[in-house]
């Protein structure tokens, strides 16, 4: 029997949160103290070494995979190559719990179990993503699928050691190392890829080199360039002024297994630019003026520069596993012809942690303690006034204990966050003590039951820097000039049953779960006046009294055989009491009809693979009253085909074909912004061809 996986998710019944700086439900404090005692208990345990099989440990660190709720999906991340994914939407196309609306690339917003990405803890190689920059752009972009080794998806709150502000969960992107691109014994390698797509006529070239440096080191360098035209939607119409170009460059050094040390250094720059309407993105293209002199499209540029350092020391000792992550990232939006608008979010942060392994009463345990922190500085610059700034910072202390035995696993932890929000001349600071606990128990005959509860908090709302620059010199917080904002406080619960068994020469698995998330004290802002929100002053911030609620269920089935793999995912979502105003709703959450994704892959030979995906979404009927952004929308279904072939007569060469939206269906994602009944549609029929070579 294989050892149980780490705790799936941290979540159980939500407790009522009493607003106030001193704390919430007093019962939580007692529970936190009890958990603190339990977390500290292993210090007296037998500290014998508990190590995984080295070969399996190395495989877990290097094999491409996508994980959801703490486990590996049957499909590895090669599905990104199979689909020829080129943006964030296509990375998660086969994940039923995720909806990405927006239509065009620069308007895409990710929703995990209905909660928008701004409310998630999203990192790339440990680096946090910055604040929203511009109101009419999605908050997450410029993720290059070609560079990904692993994507970890954690719906609900992360464990205490997985970071700050995960109100709706966390997503962790991990980049490839040079060693992942080289075969055993290979010292130097080169790869290149050329891709074409028809829906937006993308032309993309990428090339990279990987080399071993010494016995344990590796150096990876890669560049890519792509251009795309106006997006073609179903039935042939094109979205005007939706084209652009992308550029990417990365250099990454990795030192692995050097006397217990691992070191990764990376520098990355992504750029996206295009001639778009200033409201292009989440605003429906049908409402743009016919006479371009009234509101002409303008040049827009979006870039992200990131530098990361990740060091880990794991000598042959159970009591020492030390890790340090440092990062510096800057997101920049520039529209030089729109009054010289330039918005930046610069994030600097660290994570220092220590893990020791032990055995205690038949349990194999890992206790992780540490500290993390970051500062996110936003700047709003326009040619007709002086720059204006906002800042959000947090320091967190955490302890997370994980125990595993043959009959199940258990995880529990504590986190203390101390945060400050500063907008122009005013500041609000606060702190929260957060708990999580959960586990899995093997019931026998292939069945396992899991459940959990967890909390997350954040001291700032989702105001984009576009609007934060309009803050007046003296702000009111909760009605007072010297007032304070209560933290946004999330409670998540989850309960599920899992079954797996070998059948028909392969493995069959089923998982069903229910979840609930409650976010108390949402932070909103006031913009009195008339006209566009981008020109209105921001005069106050306040906490809403009504919590936002998300609940639903998921069902997953998968079969993995030698040549055939199949998986079916079903997700059902209910959203309640979200802030009604469009500027809050679009960056807080979105409803969705029931969603099903079925994927089938078959390997005709080791060199030839075929795939099919069906995505079916039921009509969205239940929407929140009093808002205009998310209205009832029609259901839809799409069919996708894929073929990947490694050319036998030319070793290292590969050919990938894909046909997306086979029926040329015209449809609207349910998470897409709606105005006056209009919304931007998704791509129509899209034929893709990619030719690659690696040696």
CB 575 within 8 A of CB 611: no
Please give the pLDDT value at position 248. Answer: 94
The answer to whether the beta carbons of residues 151 and 192 sit under 8 Å apart is no
In a domain, 605, yes or no: yes
Residue 2 in any domain: the answer is no
How far from chain centre, in Å, is Cα 336? 30
**More confident site: 1 or 294:** 294
* Mean pLDDT along residues 369-376: 97
State the burial class of residue 657 (Cβ atoms within 10 Å of its Cβ: 0-12, 13-18, 19+): middle
Looking from the CA of 264 toward its CB, the CA atoms found within 13 Å total: 25
For 339, other C-beta atoms within 10 Å of its C-beta total 12
Residue 294 within a domain? no
Distance between CA atoms of residues 78 and 89, nearest Å: 16
Tell me which residue range forms the domain holding 207: 26-282+302-336+348-694
In this prediction, residue 355 has a pLDDT band, given cuts at 50, 70 and 90, of very high
- Asked if 641 and 611 count as a contact pair (C-beta separation under 8 A), the reply is yes
Neighbours of 515 (CB within 10 A): 23
Token pair in block for residue 304: 């992200």
Distance CA(641)–CA(600), nearest Å, equals 10
> Is 9 a member of any domain?
no
Beta carbons of 46 and 359 less than 8 angstroms apart: yes
Residue 78 DSSP label: H
| Predicted confidence (pLDDT) at residue 526 exceeds the cutoff of 90 | yes
- Residue 249 in tokens: 């460059």
Mean pLDDT of 519-548: 92
Give yes or no for residue 31 having a pLDDT over 80. no
Range list of β-strands (E), 424-562: 426-444, 447-458, 471-477, 488-503, 506-520, 523-526, 538-543, 548-560
Query: How many domains does one find in the chain?
Result: 1
At 188-202, the pLDDT tens digits run 999 999 999 999 999
∠ CA(151), CA(157), CA(160), 5° rounding? Answer: 95
Give the confidence band of 520 by pLDDT, cuts at 50, 70, 90.
very high
Q: What is the pTM of this model?
A: 0.90
Residue 534 has a pLDDT of 81
| Mean pLDDT, range 480-492, rounded to an integer | 94
**What is residue 71's predicted lDDT score, i.e. its pLDDT?**
42
The confidence band for 108, taking pLDDT boundaries of 50, 70 and 90, is confident
Q: What pLDDT, on a 0 to 100 scale, did the predictor assign at position 676?
A: 87
H or E element in which residue 268 lies: strand 261-276
Looking up residue 476, the CATH number of its domain turns out to be 2.40.170.20
Is 146 among the domain residues? yes
Most confident listed range (55-59, 283-287, 583-587, 644-648): 644-648
The answer to the question of residue 328 being in a domain is: yes
Decide if pLDDT at 365 tops 80: yes
Say if 8 falls within a structural domain.
no
Does the residue 13 lie in any domain?
no
Q: Give the DSSP letter of residue 533.
A: G
Residues 453, 13: Cα–Cα separation, whole Å: 7
Sheet holding 65-68, edge to edge: 71-72, 65-68, 148-155, 169-175, 121-124, 127-128
The pLDDT mean for the chain works out to: 86
Q: What is the pLDDT of residues 326-351, one digit of tens each?
A: 999 999 999 999 889 999 999 999 99
Query: CA 84, 86, 88, 90: dihedral to nearest 10 degrees?
Result: -30
551/13 Cα distance (integer angstroms): 12
């Amino acid at each position: 029997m294989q050892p149980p996986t780490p705790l799936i998710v941290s979540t159980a019944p939500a407790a009522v949160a009493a607003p106030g700086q001193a704390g919430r439900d007093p019962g939580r404090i007692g529970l936190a103290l009890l958990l603190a005692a339990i977390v500290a208990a292993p210090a007296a345990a037998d500290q014998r070494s508990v190590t995984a099989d080295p070969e399996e440990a190395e495989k877990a660190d290097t094999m491409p995979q996508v994980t959801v709720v703490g486990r590996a999906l049957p499909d590895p991340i090669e599905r990104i190559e199979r689909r020829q994914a080129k943006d964030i939407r296509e990375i998660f196309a086969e994940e039923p719990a995720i909806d990405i609306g927006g239509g065009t690339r620069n308007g895409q917003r990710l929703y995990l179990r209905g909660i928008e990405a701004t409310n998630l803890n999203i990192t790339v190689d440990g680096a946090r993503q910055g604040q929203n920059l511009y109101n009419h752009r999605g908050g997450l972009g410029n993720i290059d699928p070609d560079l990904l080794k692993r994507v970890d998806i954690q719906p609900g709150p992360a464990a205490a050691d997985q970071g700050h502000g995960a109100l709706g969960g966390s997503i962790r992107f991990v980049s490839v190392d040079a060693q992942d691109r080289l075969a055993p014994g290979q010292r130097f390698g080169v790869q290149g890829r050329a891709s074409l797509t028809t829906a937006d006529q993308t032309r993309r070239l990428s090339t990279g080199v990987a080399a071993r440096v010494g016995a344990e080191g590796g150096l990876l360098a890669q560049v890519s360039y792509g251009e795309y035209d106006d997006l073609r939607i179903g039935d042939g119409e094109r979205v005007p002024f939706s084209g652009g170009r992308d550029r990417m460059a990365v250099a990454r050094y990795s030192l692995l297994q050097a006397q217990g040390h691992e070191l990764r250094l990376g520098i990355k720059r992504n750029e996206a630019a295009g001639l778009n309407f200033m409201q292009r993105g989440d605003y429906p293209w049908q409402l743009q003026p016919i006479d371009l002199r009234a509101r002409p499209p303008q040049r827009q540029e979006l870039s992200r520069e990131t530098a990361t350092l990740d060091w880990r020391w794991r000598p042959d000792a159970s009591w020492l596993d030390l890790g340090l992550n440092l990062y510096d990232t800057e997101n920049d939006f520039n529209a030089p012809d729109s009054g010289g608008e330039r918005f930046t979010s610069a994030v600097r942060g660290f994570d220092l942690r220590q893990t020791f392994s032990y055995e205690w009463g038949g349990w194999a345990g890992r206790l992780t303690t540490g500290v993390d922190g970051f500062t996110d500085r936003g700047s709003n610059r326009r040619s007709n006034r002086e720059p204006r700034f906002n800042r959000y910072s947090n320091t967190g202390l955490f302890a997370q204990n994980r125990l595993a035995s043959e009959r199940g696993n258990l995880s529990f932890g504590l986190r203390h966050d101390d945060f400050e929000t500063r907008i122009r001349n005013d500041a609000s600071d606060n702190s929260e003590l957060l708990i999580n606990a959960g586990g899995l128990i093997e019931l026998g005959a292939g069945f396992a039951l899991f459940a959990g509860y967890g909390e997350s908090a954040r001291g700032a709302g989702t105001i984009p820097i576009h609007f934060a620059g309009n803050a007046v010199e003296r702000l009111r917080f909760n009605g007072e000039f010297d007032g304070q904002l209560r933290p946004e406080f999330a409670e998540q619960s989850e309960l599920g049953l899992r079954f797996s068994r070998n059948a028909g020469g392969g493995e069959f698995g089923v998982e069903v779960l229910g979840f609930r998330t409650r976010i108390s004290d949402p932070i909103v802002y006031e913009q009195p006046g008339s006209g566009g929100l981008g020109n209105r002053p921001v005069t106050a911030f306040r906490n809403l009294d009504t919590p936002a609620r998300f609940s639903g269920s998921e069902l997953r089935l998968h079969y993995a055989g030698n040549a055939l793999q199949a998986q079916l995912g079903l997700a059902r979502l209910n959203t309640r009491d979200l802030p009604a105003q469009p500027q809050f709703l679009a960056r807080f959450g979105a409803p969705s009809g029931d969603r099903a994704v079925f994927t089938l892959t078959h390997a005709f030979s080791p060199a030839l693979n075929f795939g099919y995906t069906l995505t079916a979404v039921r009509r969205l009927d239940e929407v929140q009253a009093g808002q205009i952004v998310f209205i009832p929308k029609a259901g839809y279904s799409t069919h996708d085909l894929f073929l990947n072939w490694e050319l036998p007569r030319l070793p290292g060469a590969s050919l990938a074909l894909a046909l997306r939206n086979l029926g040329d269906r015209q449809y609207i994602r349910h998470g897409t912004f709606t105005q006056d009944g209009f919304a931007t549609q998704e791509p129509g029929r899209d034929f893709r061809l990619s030719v690659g070579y690696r040696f």
